[in-house]
Amino acid sequence: MKRFNKIAISAGALMCSMLFASAEPAEKKEKPNFVIFVADDMGWGDSATYGNPLIKTPNLDKLAAQGVKFTQCYSACGVCSPSRAAILTGRTPYRNGVWRHLSGNHEAHLRASEITYIELLKEIGYETCHVGKWHLNSKQQFNTPKYPQPGDHGYDYWMYTHNNASPSHKNPDNFVRNGEPVGEIEGYSAQIVASEAARWLKDIHDPKKPFALSVWVHEPHSPIATDSKFEALYKGHKNSKYMGNITQLDHALGQVMEALDKAGVSDNTFVMFTSDNGPVARYGGTAGELRGGKRSSHEGGIRVPGVVRWPGHIKAGTVSDTPVIGSDIFSTILAITGIDLPSDRTIDGVSMLPAFEGKPLTRRVPLFWRTHVSAADNRMALRIGDWKIISNDEMNKFQLYDIQKDWKETNDLSAKMPEKTDEMKKALFEVWKGIEAEGPKEWWLGERNKPVKGGKLNY
């Protein structure tokens, strides 16, 4: 049983019902649907939408043209498991317990005591579905009743893999549907995931109920396999396999958008596209001109695509430089549906609703990152306003950047501005102290400095 307070529907619910009310009875179409589409290892510079001159992403372009493109959207961590846990819980990874990637065997997992937005939506009548990568428990914990699985976190239906598609994106054989192994599936992972989402929406979902759908594709994470029709778009380019892989996942996004159209629910559906962390350069990924990539707490490791479409509520073609983060998804969905934030725990994310209207966001907890496998000099970072401080793991060496002006992080101001550095250090120490007091620190004490076995980037 969950250890959290009974859900309180706030006065905001009344406002919400007024906002979405129509001539239909209240139960029918007043509640919006939610689709959260997450790419795996896709960099800030890996799409035409974010300025790549070669990679074709027509569906992401279309989504941005119909909604808002955030130029400063962040993942909650520089690696995948932690950032995904933050999306579901609204809590920074060390606080929710998924402080590291969960590729091998480890005790860390998304605990049953955590509250996901999926559970809260289900409590008010939503149907819920997850398709694609999961990666919120370790290898020996996957698909066993001894540890929480998607159904324990609120999903009615799920088809998932533990981590990567195996043996690659082509003809994967490691999907599990509602606890039962599926076996080899012909095709490519992103299209398989999108097709399952479309099938669920068409054949399984009750159209009388609102829904929340998580679509977490594997592309462009290694081991990469790209359909020849997408790779052919970049014939002759040395990076054609990776570039085609991005277009492959973009095509899957288009499949989901088409499924929403066919179901007649696009106008009443909140769709967000993002990535779990920055890119891997050796496989062909790019963070544009940002510093760093996957694993890093520099911008290239944590600044990711972030596009939201919500017809009638977000002006089409909007571009926003308001900083938002994956953990904000939780608070945003609760704000839209009129559900109170849980009162028995710290929620780090805030509602993005003001940002949809071009207004700033007010944060009680500053933007914070800790990535256990980043380089020794950039394990932690915190941003307040335009200022970002980066710390080593011991929290005794610091970098300071005016990130709005110096988004490439080329000019460390820590020595030139000692007072500002001290101010930011104090804030960093305070935030970390609160996280350390609340999170399951027994899971990470003594482990966070261990080297990655073999140095292989397999997560």
Catalytic residue among 109, 130, 135, 162: 135
Mind giving me the DSSP string for 257-324? HHHHHHHT-GGGEEEEEEESS---GGGT---TT-S--TT-SSHHHHEE-EEEE-TTTS-TTEEE---E
Query: So what's the pLDDT on residue 104?
Result: 78
Number of alpha carbons in the 13 Å side-chain half-sphere of residue 89: 29
Q: How far apart are CA 63 and CA 37, in angstroms?
A: 12
Q: Do 122 and 246 belong to one domain?
A: yes
CB 386 within 8 A of CB 409: no
Whether pLDDT at 17 is above 50: no
pLDDT at residue 324 greater than cutoff 90: yes
Residue 24 has pLDDT above 50, yes or no: no
pLDDT at 457: 32
Query: Do 170 and 31 share a structural domain?
Result: yes
Amino acid 30: pLDDT: 78
Distance (Å, rounded) from C-alpha 422 to C-alpha 428?
Answer: 10
Mean pLDDT score across all residues of the chain = 91
Same domain, yes or no: 132 and 206: yes
% of the chain residues with pLDDT over 90: 87
- Judge if 281 and 234 occupy the same domain: yes
> Which is the catalytic residue, given 16, 73, 80, 129?
80
Does residue 449 surpass a pLDDT of 50?
no
Catalytic, 80? Answer yes
Residues 216 and 81 in one domain: yes
- 157-213: per-residue pLDDT in tens? 999 999 999 999 999 999 999 999 999 999 999 999 999 999 999 999 999 999 999
In a domain? residue 6: no
Name the residue type at position 189.
S
Does pLDDT of 380 surpass 90?
Answer: yes
Q: Looking at the domain assignment, is residue 410 inside a domain?
A: yes
- The predicted-structure confidence for 258-290, as pLDDT tens digits, reads as follows 999 999 999 999 999 999 999 999 999 999 999
Q: What is the mean pLDDT of residues 314-318?
A: 98
CATH number of the structural domain spanning residue 403: 3.30.1120.10
Structure-token pair, residue 413: 């101001």
Tell whether 364 is covered by a domain. Answer: no
pLDDT tens-digit profile of 222-270?
999 999 999 999 999 999 999 999 999 999 999 999 999 999 999 999 9
Predicted pLDDT of residue 304 = 98
Burial of residue 417, with CB atoms counted within 10 A of its CB: 0-12 exposed, 13-18 middle, 19 or more buried: middle
How many domains would you assign to the chain?
2
Distance between CA atoms of residues 83 and 74, nearest Å: 9
Judged against a pLDDT cut of 70, whether residue 14 lies above it is answered with no
Whole-number pLDDT of residue 87: 98
Does residue 132 form part of some domain?
Answer: yes
pLDDT at 11 over 50: no
Q: Is the pLDDT of residue 7 over 60?
A: no
> Rounded distance, CA 177 to CA 200, Å?
12
- The strand order across the sheet containing 324-325 reads 303-304, 73-74, 324-325
pLDDT score for 214: 98
Q: Phi and psi at residue 148, in whole multiples of 5°? A: -65, 135
Report which listed range, 24-28, 392-396, 419-423, is most confident: 419-423
| Whether 397 and 332 share a structural domain | no
The string of DSSP codes covering 128-181 is: EEEEEE--SB-GGGTT-TTS--GGGGT-SEEEEESSS-SS-SBS----EETTEE
Residue 446 has what pLDDT?
62
Can you give the pLDDT at residue 168? 96
**In a domain? residue 63:** yes
State whether 214 and 249 are in the same domain. yes
**pLDDT reported for residue 9:** 37
Q: What pLDDT, on a 0 to 100 scale, did the predictor assign at position 18?
A: 37
State whether 245 and 380 are in the same domain. Answer: no
Tell me, yes or no, whether 452 lies in a domain. Answer: no
Looking up residue 91, the CATH number of its domain turns out to be 3.40.720.10
* Shared-domain flag, residues 282 and 403: no
Domain hosting 159: range is 11-356
In a domain, 42, yes or no: yes
Q: Say whether 135 is catalytic.
A: yes
Tens digits of residue pLDDT in 57-91: 999 999 999 999 999 999 999 999 999 999 999 99
pLDDT-based confidence at residue 21 (cuts at 50, 70, 90): very low
> Do 388 and 320 sit in the same domain of this protein?
no
The whole-number pLDDT of residue 53 equals: 98
Q: Which residue has the tokens 């496989």?
A: 283
Question: How confident is the model over 299-305, as a mean pLDDT?
Answer: 98
Same domain for 314 and 381, yes or no, is no
pLDDT at 295 over 70: yes
- Pair (406, 310) in one structural domain: no
Determine, yes or no, domain membership for 362: no
| pLDDT tens-digit readout, 106-130 | 899 999 999 999 999 999 999 999 9
The string of DSSP codes covering 329-353 is: HHHHHHHHHTBPPPSSS-------H
**Tokens, residue 404:** 């709005």
